Structure 1
Amino acid sequence: MEKTFSYSQLSTFKSCPQKYKINYIDKIFSESESIEAFMGKRVHEVLEWFYLQKRLNEKYIVFDKLVSKYEEFWLEKWHDSIFIALCKYDKHNYNKSSVYKLGLLCLRNYYIDFNTNGYFKSKILGVEVKFELSIKNYRFRGVIDRIDKNPDGSIEIIDYKTSKKSKTTRQAKNDLQLAIYLLACKEMYKDATEFYLNLYFLRNRDYVRIKHDSDQIKKVENNIIKNVENIEKESNFYAKESILCEWCYHWKECEVKSSLNPAIKV
């Protein structure tokens, strides 16, 4: 039976093998989340809602509609286990209100950069597209933010990012998440001859678009399998301390932490 993995699992193991064990082997999950992650989910939900509108290309869309939906999702999904990392918290400059505004900035940038006189393209094949595929002896599953089809029949695979840091074209070409998405889309859309991978860094208005040739596809596919094999052969699952610990809510279970995460509850 094929074991099932996701990009999140590969990423978690790379950042901290012990967190991987806590989450995916011990099955211990925390309801706590960072305010940045919460904001990112709300921005994704707004864009998902937006592109599910019928006959989108015939509608004049004002930015206020996106703002209203963002506020609605923010209030509806807010809960009592949202935190700001202690190293980031600033009562006046980095707080609930400022992160909320970062989400608005992401949506504003998207609206400005992708509308044409208030109208948007609508040749959308899907949003929040779930997939499963096999890569050698392993099964992968995930969700793609958006898939578009161009007039020439080529496919655009789009991944929204709300993080502060962007990626270069070179980094995007080695991005395992995009590679998994590409392999999934090649299975879903067998008639398409060309596939383009897009990273939309909404906060910075930085947009990276790449295309893999057959050699690059083989390279990233081998890298994916190498990452899985590293997980499979791991036995110690050591804790890998870094600045990322500030955004981890498993200090109670962690072998190297002697207290709870001092993050500020919002």
Structure 2
Amino acid sequence: MFDLLRSFFRKWLARKAPLELSYSKISAYRFCPWKYKLLYHDGRRVPPNPHISLGQSVHKALEEFHKREGKTLDELLEAYDKVWVNEGFQNPQQTQHFYEKGEKMLRQYIDWFHLRKSEVVAVEREFRFPVGTRILRGMIDRIDRLPDDTYEVIDYKTHAEMWEQSRIDSDLQLTLYSIGCRQLMKAEPSLLSYFFLAHNKVVTTARSSVQYREAIAEFESGAEKIEAGSFPPDVSKCPRCDFKSTCAYSSDKAPKGNGKSKL
């Protein structure tokens, strides 16, 4: 009963307010529209797992470290220990393994940070602005002011996969964050960077006006489908989905309906 009331309340609120979309929401819809519905209309929570907890812990540690204008490795590791998210681990050995992975990332990070000649001007900075009748929002990990007085957007990645330059050059998240930075700083960032902490490697790119237009077009296209209540399940994604063991449309179960939802 509580779940039904919660779902009804979410849908009622959605009718009263303009649709707000972040990159995370757009990404969920691109991955599988039905997963988007489970997450953002039904209020389902992704089950905790070691990789999510590691990512949250490292991000929170870097946020606290920079907000306190930390300088030393000891300060960074103290923040890490304080914010450690101890969820989703199968046993103490697995917890220790992932904790040490995060610690290694941060030890490498501090060396890179000490070599930087830029100024950290924003940490976990939210942007939110209208795009037509909808709202685009996001949270930027970090914005630096460079020596030439331009800005660099930096987003931390803790996963093991190292992306190719071509993927980063066309990545939607960085494009939207660049637009967000323009709104926040009143200037276009000259650099957009992913810091792949597991590899201790920063990969940098930039964006063109054409890419900005394409990103906004994709935002609007996704928003129209979401507002129309179109949530067809993409069963090809089931093996990589967080809800594969509980979703009614999981590829090892018989599908029900067509994913059309009236909001």
The within-5 A match list for 1:6-155 is 6-29=22-45, 32-54=47-69, 59=71, 61=72, 63-74=73-84, 77-79=85-87, 82-83=88-89, 95-116=94-115, 123-155=119-151
Asked if residue 164 in structure 1 is aligned to residue 160 in structure 2, the reply is: yes
How many pairs does the alignment contain?
Answer: 235
Q: Counterpart of 1:167 in structure 2: which amino acid?
A: W
Q: Secondary structure at the match of 1:95?
A: helix
Go from structure 1 to structure 2 and tell me whether the alpha carbon gap of 1:50 and 1:65 turns closer, same or farther (over 3 Å shift): same
Q: Secondary structure at the match of 2:149?
A: coil
* Structure ranking higher on relative contact order (CA contacts 8 Å, 6+ apart): 1
Q: Any idea what the Cα deviations from partners look like across 1:77-115, whole Å, max 9, x if unmatched?
A: 424xx156xxxxxx89x8222211211121122122232
Q: Counterpart of 2:45 in structure 1: which amino acid?
A: F
Q: Secondary structure at the match of 2:83?
A: helix
Show structure 1 runs of 5+ residues with no match: 85-90, 259-266
Q: Secondary structure at the match of 1:235?
A: coil
Show structure 2 runs of 5+ residues with no match: 1-16, 254-263
Cα offset, 1:234, TM superposition: 5.4
The within-5 A match list for 1:226-241 is 226-233=221-228, 235-240=230-235, 241=237
1:87 aligns with none
CA-atom RMSD in angstroms? 2.6
Percent of residue pairs bearing the same amino acid type:
29
8 A Cα contact 2:190 2:206, kept in partner: yes
* TM-score between the two structures when normalised by the length of structure 1: 0.77
8 A Cα contact 1:40 1:162, kept in partner: yes
Go from structure 1 to structure 2 and tell me whether the alpha carbon gap of 1:183 and 1:98 turns closer, same or farther (over 3 Å shift): same
Q: Per residue, is there more helix in 1 or in 2?
A: 2
Structure 1 stretch 224-233 or stretch 160-169: which is displaced more?
224-233
- The whole-number CA distance in structure 1 between the counterparts of 2:50 and 2:228 is 34
* TM-score between the two structures when normalised by the length of structure 2: 0.78
Go from structure 1 to structure 2 and tell me whether the alpha carbon gap of 1:39 and 1:238 turns closer, same or farther (over 3 Å shift): same
- The whole-number CA distance in structure 2 between the counterparts of 1:83 and 1:105 is 19
